[in-house]
Amino acid sequence: MEITLHSIGIIHSPFNEKDQTPIQSSRSQAIGLVELYLEFADGLNGIEDLSHIHLLYIFHESSGYALQVKPFLDDQEHGIFATRYPCRPNPIGLSTVRLVSRRDNFLTIEGVDVLDGTPLLDIKPYVPDFDHRTDVRVGWYETRSKK
C-alpha cells in the first residue's frame, strides 16, 4: 500500500547542519518553533493544557536508506529498525518535546532536535499512561543511550 502525505506545517530550529543537530530531543534544551499552516490551527485547541507532545515529521534531508547502519551512538552495524537512524525506508521522525506555549498557529517548544525547515506531519499528545513502559530492555543502547 502506498499513501501520499502532505506536511501540515514547518518546524523551525536553530540547527542548519546535520552534525550540529542533537541526536535526540531528550538531549536537547534548544528552543524551536512549530508553525502549523493556518488551515490547521483550530486543531490545536486544548493543546495549551499539555506539557509534552510527540512530533512526527519527515527526515527531509535524508536520501535513500540502508538496512544495516552504523548509528551515531555506536561503531557497530545494526538493523535499521533496531536504531533511530534517519535513513529509513519511510523517513519519518518521532520527537517528544516540551510545549512551552501556544500562540495562534505557533507552538514554542523546548528540546528540538531536528533541522530547521523540517516538514511536520502530525502532533500527538504525550500521555504517560499510554506512552510509558517499564521493565524495558534496550539491546545495544544499554551502554550507549546515557547522556
Closer of 1 and 101 to its own copies (Cβ): 1
* Residue 124: all three cell numbers together: 500527538
d(CA 98, CA 33): 11
6 binds its own copies (CB under 8 A): yes
38 binds its own copies (CB under 8 A): no
25 binds its own copies (CB under 8 A): yes
Contact 75, 14 (CB under 8 A): no
Residue numbers 80-139 binding its own copies by CB under 8 A: 80-84, 88-92, 94, 96, 98, 119, 121-133, 135-139
Q: What's the min distance (Å) between Cβ of 11 and its own copies? A: 12
- Find the binder of its own copies among 5, 18, 29, 38 (CB under 8 A): 5
- Find the binder of its own copies among 14, 67, 70, 104 (CB under 8 A): 67
Angle, CA of 81, 82 and 87, to the nearest 5°: 50
Residue length, the chain? 147
146 binds its own copies (CB under 8 A): yes
d(CA 68, CA 4): 26
How many other CB atoms are there within 10 angstroms of residue 105's CB atom? 17
